[in-house]
Amino acid sequence: MQIKTPDWVKDAVFYQIFPDRFAKSQQPGSRIAHQIPLESWDAPPTLQGYKGGDLWGVKEKLDYLQDLGINAIYFTPIFQSACNHRYHTHDYYQVDPLLGGNQAFLELLEDCHRRGIKVVLDGVFNHASRGFFFFNDILENGPYSPWLDWFKIQDWPLSAYDGSLPANYVSWVGNRALPQFNHDNPDVREYIMQIAEHWIKLGIDGWRLDVPFEIKTPGFWQEFRDRVKAINPEAYIVGEVWQDSREWLDGSQFDGVMNYLFTAPTIAFTAGDRVVMEYVEYQSYDPYPALDAPGYAAKIEELLQLYPWEIQLTQLNLLDSHDTARLLSIAGGGRESPTAEAQETVKLATLLLLTFPGSPSIYYGDEVSLAGALDPDCRRGFPPETAWNREVLDYHRQLIALRHAHPALRTGNYKVLLAEGMVYIFARQLAAEELIIAINIGTTREKVTLPVSELVSQPDRILYGDGKVTWGTTEESSHLTLQLLPRSGCVLG
């Protein structure tokens, strides 16, 4: 079948926002409650505490995001819920009142679209919550509830809160706070399809799907795609699948996945043996053992062969997320005072992220050097301006601007030119435009010379980073000599 993915995604730079932690509105009257007890914004986050970030606050930060170069936002869940991360959905038709409710979201959506910023929401359709009306009715009425077949009830009585008793219903990963839907029930299936359609009709630009691999009902995601795309053919459908995703990326289901198969080798290459194992070893990706340049090249070549090119261009590429420790901490940066080595790792990895095929996604705060260990620490409050690392913000701005300025960095071919020792060099090519990206992850200065018969031009201007460039020509071919500083990278154009 012919694969068609949304064109706008190929030009997108995403910013992932965890709404409770990004921005708290400064406007009087915009909040639903003023006297509610909230955690201090700067205090370490807890599993159950709220810090009070809201969608009005995001609206007030749009100038900042535009200045950074962001043109798409992925929000973790915003619907009514009894938890700070909102993956325990109470009502799929109501934006959480603590976030400002439906009014705040619709005004934010309108402002984003006016600025050319796309908005993708998190769809949690595998499970609901104990507070979800249909399940709550079962808790109240037991076997007399009309909604029994919406979930997977195994026995009576149900125990939704007392862990010493059997739950007697199926829940996601055994967490009784998250009863799983019975997707084989046509009414459940129709209910979820109508939720997806409702928000697409209201103007959202796509869905990020939480644990979609848990839904085994045949044809479910094919129908989901058909119904969403019937309303907006350019809607983006991206799944949270951490491993080989060919099963879902055949053109009939998702446009892309959260590309942890890019994340893992990129961390293993740039962080090397500095990876803090306790932050990664129990996660669903493997950013270890350390990779040298040939090892990284092999992983990237394997990844680029895995999916059709049209899908590669709409993958959601990332270095970290709300589900992982932040790269700054993974790379040995500690909790509060990142090491120089950790800062260098993030800089090199960000260069690889912003020059890779697919849509880069920046997790809020990474661009100002926000640290964070495993959940909930990776979900800290966005730091005040006085705490920003300006150098990190500046190179994020430069690389995002470079990506926007050069189509080859967005949709051009990806060609590995050299992978030796700790030096990795590749080209992005689109028609006559060619850029060369070179990275030295080693701790010593490197000088490399390589024949470049695959290129039609001789890019010799440094658009980003540091290095020395020399082109030479013999009768047979051209060759490029690059001198690279330790732990550095550059872009030639």
15 phi and psi angles, rounded to 5 deg = -130, 120
Rounded Cα–Cα distance for residues 441 and 347 (Å): 11
Give 3-state DSSP helix, strand, coil % of the chain, rounded to 5: 35, 20, 45
Active site residue 375: no
Task: Record the tokens describing residue 11, joined without a space.
Answer: 């030009």
Compute the residue count for the chain: 493
Six-digit token pair at 271?
């962080």
What residues have CB less than 8 Å from 446, skipping those under 6 apart?
421, 422, 423, 440, 483, 484, 486
CA-CA distance, 152 to 141, in Å (whole number)? 16
Q: How many CA atoms lie within 13 A of 477 on its CB side?
A: 9
Note the Cα 167 to chain centre separation in Å. Answer: 33
Among candidate residues 14, 75, 3, 5, the one with its CA nearest the CA of residue 255: 5
Can you tell me whether residue 95 is helix, strand or coil? strand
Calpha distance 368→394 (Å, rounded): 9
- Annotated catalytic residue within 210, 255, 323, 366: 210
With contact defined as beta carbons under 8 Å apart, do 256 and 316 qualify?
yes
Residue 240: active-site member: yes
Distance CA 469, CA 457 (A): 14
Rounded to 5 degrees, φ, ψ at 484 are -120, 135
Give the amino acid at 107.
E
Residue of 54, 60, 240, 366 with catalytic role: 240
Which residues participate in catalysis according to the annotation? 210, 240
